[in-house]
Amino acid sequence: MRRPTDSSDRPSRLSIFLRRQKRLLRPLLLVLVLLGLGVGCVTAFRHFGSDPRFAPLRGRIINMLPLRITEIDVTGCVLTSEPSLQQALGVRTGDFILGFSVAAARERIDALPFVDHSVVERHLPGTIIIHLFERRPFAVWQNHGHFMLIDREGNQVRDQGMTGKDAEAFMQLPLVVGPDANTAAAALIDELSAQPEVRSHVVAASRVGQRRWNLTLRNGTTVLLPEGQEVAALKRLAQLQENIKILDRPVIAIDMRLPDRLIVREAPPAPNDNTDRDRGDTPPQADPTGDQDPSAPWLSSPQTGPRRRRA
């Protein structure tokens, strides 16, 4: 015989639900506890990492960690100095390799004066590889009194003030002068390189009228090259140097602008030399090419009365 049941003894719906979901609530509470512990650890770690009072302790902990940098391999480094590269890299042998930021190091290295771009790699357990692609200075460009290094395309190569070791290297580079000499320099320098006997005498090349070149030799002689005919003129000049050593002679200018003749201007006679006047030499006429070049004032100054010799 069943006893009558009291409705007040029945469990509530909430208690029944909680009993049914007990297996799910326990993992959920565990996740919440772990999440709280993780947030606390991160907060404490940030405080620990930024507080200078804990710097010695941080250093000891890092030194106890494995995966140290054992090798730094660098390729393509010619003009970039080792101290500047080391400073931009930001780590040394023995540092913790996992604390090394590849992206940050690459950004700092790319900002160095002679670096066009770089490739930085981290190879575990302890190797860092750096490939440098430098912008090689091709010449020194003088424009409006300012000197700057340029690459083969005529773009400026950032320098460190052209002092010290860098300046010694830059003194070996050819000097080009003029508004567009930077973009036209590569073709001329290549043509000069094909005539090494001529190039060894050249110290500077000046762009005239943005269309042709004047060469300045070590002895002060100016060579006036024809427009668009530099290759033929340099070959002819090399032949004359081989035959009569024309580049070693103490002359003021060698005019090669006319294809059928070579005009050489010698130094003017001394004030007490009356040879030219006694011989009745006539002053030179106006420049037959119509190129009134400021580097050759004798072409437009007939009163100076220099002698011309046709070779």
Q: Which fold has domain 139-266?
A: Rossmann fold (3.40.50)
Q: What's the predicted TM-score (pTM) here? A: 0.53
pLDDT for the residue numbered 198: 95
Weakly modelled stretches of the chain, pLDDT under 70? 1-11, 14, 16-25, 38, 41-65, 159-170, 270, 272-311
Q: What is the DSSP string of 62-131?
A: HHHSS-B--EEEEES-SSS-HHHHHHHH---TTSBGGG--HHHHHHHHHTSTTEEEEEEEEETTTEEEEE
pLDDT for the residue numbered 299: 36
Q: Break the chain into its structural domains and give their ranges.
A: 67-134, 139-266
pLDDT for the residue numbered 136: 80
Amino acid letter, 45 = F
Q: What proportion of the chain, given as a percentage, has pLDDT over 90?
A: 38
pLDDT for the residue numbered 120: 95
* CATH of segment(s) 67-134: 3.10.20.310
pLDDT for the residue numbered 293: 46
